[in-house]
Structure 1
């Protein structure tokens, strides 16, 4: 296991910093962040990539990372590469990564370097766009807001419109149930149940109905497409097991009935609706 993941230090820099040294700093900062966020195995993966970058190994993939044209920290460059490696692990295409993701002792840099060489074609497209995430638990905030709005006298029937919906997981909130500080909302046969930690006064108890949901995204993710679903799962840090369970539940729900999600930018969507 590399020492770079053992004693992480975070260097405060402008997120938009580019140029010489910015790539190494971005990777080092991501290692530190992962460690402090309780994701040691993800930290090992990022540190392993960074170690490979410091060698004299040459490839198109490594050249693109080393010579990144944008701001590597703001562009989440390290997580783009880590996401690609995680996808290879999840799909079984790179079983040699398994010891790292299991938290076992291994020569991280050697393993990751070999995988980056043998799977370069598969990894290159992961550099083309930023990580995309979609967390169902965020929908609890929307439901709490609806309870408050209904308590203020608004009609308790809501049409939910969301911009930047990604895979539309939060558009299925009418199929989830919530325990919001003891206030129960949602169907008995919910596909997911949420009980977020609640501090302070719970939201008002009101009967609300979600009559429709619709969202947009410039690059929507189709959860019923195995390749697209895998890509979304690959951006979840493996230590976050609850998020994996939620993603699997959302994928099953989308197979039952897809969320109403259209490919459109926010301005056009708002005008159309």
Structure 2
């Protein structure tokens, strides 16, 4: 059996951060940490997968169960969650029952879980783009070429097609169906003049199967975020944006080979992506951006944790 890369302390830190807003998910993460530590039933069921050494691999199994849950294929777990929610959240005495139903779902649906394990982790919430918007407001460049690494379905590339509500300001398309809270200063007169992204496994927002995959990474309890995600996916299906299936290093090198107009600032953006790269890939991307900044202004905006056990933070790197 392969050793899972997910350290118990990593899963426990994720459980602690999600305890308030997502008690069901938090409880499962805590039990999953114990399972990984002691070689429990989930580890035995998924640990022989050839990608079991990938970062956050066990989260793929949770996404598989979440996908079955949102598709209405786990009636007993759905009934348990409804009962627990009626009692103001998942109570401690319900943890064993939640875990038992979670393990049963993995054991009873091997084909669906195997498909989920084959897919890379793709946590994609449109509200996360609020951090990108905060970064763009700090950059203060009027014309932006936006390039996203790990773009998934391209939702963050449509940032100006959403309506944002910040402290004393609004920004974006006033008629947008996607209406989200924001923070930081007013972005002002920013115009995105070009946009594109890459992903090893892009998701088509017009494809029901891809939509289901994207939705499966959102915790069951996040009903507001699920509604915003559905609205964003629907908007993206009607507003095509280029997301190429490509390795980030080669793709960014090609995109930056032709410098943008000097009046346009290139912004390279990524979120919860950097930690999946090998150190050599990270160094290569840094080198590509440093070289490109010699001929045209370039900024990197990231929403990444210093380590997977820590919460993500806004990072703003000016290369020129």
TM-score normalized by structure 1?
0.73
Q: 2:123 aligns with which of 133, 137, 149?
A: 133
Q: Superposition RMSD on alpha carbons, in Å?
A: 3.4
1:34, 1:40 within 8 Å by CA — same for their partners in 2? no
Structure 1 stretches of at least 4 aligned residues deviating more than 4 Å after TM superposition: 46-57, 66-72
| CA distance, structure 2, for counterparts of residue 35 and residue 173 of structure 1 | 25
Q: Does 2:232 match 1:250?
A: yes
Describe the superposition over 1:92-129 as per-residue Cα deviations: whole angstroms up to 9, x where unpaired: 12212103433625833443343333211211222234
- How far apart are 1:239 and its partner, in Å? 1.8
Structure 1 residue ranges without an equivalent (≥5) = 1-17
2:315 matched to which residue of 1? Answer: none
2:15, 2:30 within 8 Å by CA — same for their partners in 1? no
- How far apart are 1:31 and its partner, in Å? 7.5
2:177 matched to which residue of 1? Answer: 191
| CA distance, structure 2, for counterparts of residue 272 and residue 147 of structure 1 | 27
* TM alignment of 1:25-44, pairs within 5 A: 25=8, 29=12, 32-33=15-16, 36-44=19-27
- How far apart are 1:157 and its partner, in Å? 2.5
Q: Does 2:202 match 1:220?
A: yes
1:96 matched to which residue of 2? Answer: 76
Q: Does 2:105 match 1:115?
A: yes
- How far apart are 1:170 and its partner, in Å? 0.6
Kindly tell me the number of residue pairs found equivalent between the two proteins.
Answer: 243
More strand by share: 2
* TM alignment of 1:138-149, pairs within 5 A: 138-149=128-139
2:124, 2:217 within 8 Å by CA — same for their partners in 1? no
2:220 matched to which residue of 1? Answer: 238
CA distance 1:197–1:269, shift in 2 (3 Å)? same
Structure 2 residue ranges without an equivalent (≥5) = 85-93, 256-320
| CA distance, structure 1, for counterparts of residue 12 and residue 35 of structure 2 | 16
1:175 matched to which residue of 2? Answer: 161
- How far apart are 1:90 and its partner, in Å? 0.7
1:177, 1:188 within 8 Å by CA — same for their partners in 2? yes
CA distance 1:212–1:24, shift in 2 (3 Å)? closer
| CA distance, structure 1, for counterparts of residue 26 and residue 138 of structure 2 | 40
1:15 matched to which residue of 2? Answer: none
TM-score normalized by structure 2?
0.63
- 1:158 aligned counterpart, secondary structure: strand
